Structure 1
């Protein structure tokens, strides 16, 4: 049986091995884009929960180069912060996220290559940020108050959990403007059944929050205006668990999903064995038998 040292470190290692260009350019873009009084990404701490809020409401919180970089940098920082046990991703304004900033992309068509190099760079940067959510050793809960389209829908699908307002809607409408939602497709197709994903991708038509819940894109739908509190409450529920166990389990979940059935079971058995050796498993099992609350050491 292969050893599993990566189970304890792979999430943070992957997260920290980000491309240098992503942060050199994006940090500059974020500073240029947002006045000091209006940062494009807000960060608050609610107990042991990090609340990240997209703050480009006038642009429907579209993912500019600066916002992509700011999100990725925040995830890197949170990954190494032991005081944070879960993350809630929310947005200000009527829209959750309208996808990529098409005006920003179009402005780059003036170059000799018609923007090809920049387009590749921004798509790779966005893909790296989405993967950072998956590789983050802490759960991420989306709080969706409005429309989430294209890369915005991808952002929701990339989160581990999602709470949607009854006023929210989801779409991958790139096909309507001649730009198929190929990168959003990656996250979408890993969250919803194939036929539903293809219908969203091929028609571009939005689905309601209720439909999103029925196909597995979000966990639950709540009354408009309560989605952020509901997302924080869900994050707090997970934050009460052993951080070690949650980290181990989250990584194992995504890794086994890419394996064959037999390989997944072999891998999961190794993870369970590794988990049984942890102090928190010993404490948790003991607390259950003794009918008391566990005292986690997060190791």
Structure 2
């Protein structure tokens, strides 16, 4: 073999070592993708018999999660909070009524179709103060978010960062909504409370804080309580268009694959009825850290 050929072989061999990384990537620490874009969560009852209860019908929703660092210069400590859509959505309710002409008659367009307008009713004053169990005063918006939990500094051997010790449940009590024209009760007065027990965020180089799992207890103010497990994925993504009609167990994983917008390394499945407007949404397949 000539010197030139030998050199070429050596270069090609080096290129192979560069392109095929066999080294484990270092841990990024406990990262969490904050909720400038929401997460998509799916819920499962711990006790299937609770499905008959008034508080046993949660399937899933968008959630917001945030990581904070307390005392970053002196004694940095990770903190973590959750705000579920079930509390955040109850601050106001919007419904439609038909617009009226000046003489009070219903307004229609040139095709004779009703012209509708939205009416938004505030059910909770976001600045309304409420007292916590330890006597602190917080706003309704703060009450809709869990109290802080302590978040690990580094993932465990499974890549999971444990958040535990939530100091307060996320809870709201919203007033009823009455139709301004018919006096029909559109939504009754209601309470929603989420008491988070623990949350584990998967944080690895290929998925830095984009999947989580957890446990919480939900109550609806009637004395009913039900325990749930939670799987969530960031960002919130609905299944591919063909999945909206009838997502099935057989091909649910395919519908969160190519074309869904998710990281192609994610092993995600399509779950019916948990996304915006009742659409199907994508969540981790079975556990946080589900990768292909």
Report the TM-score, using the length of structure 2 for normalisation. 0.24
* Structure (1 or 2) with the greater helix fraction: 1
TM-score normalized by the length of structure 1: 0.24
Q: Which has the larger radius of gyration?
A: 2
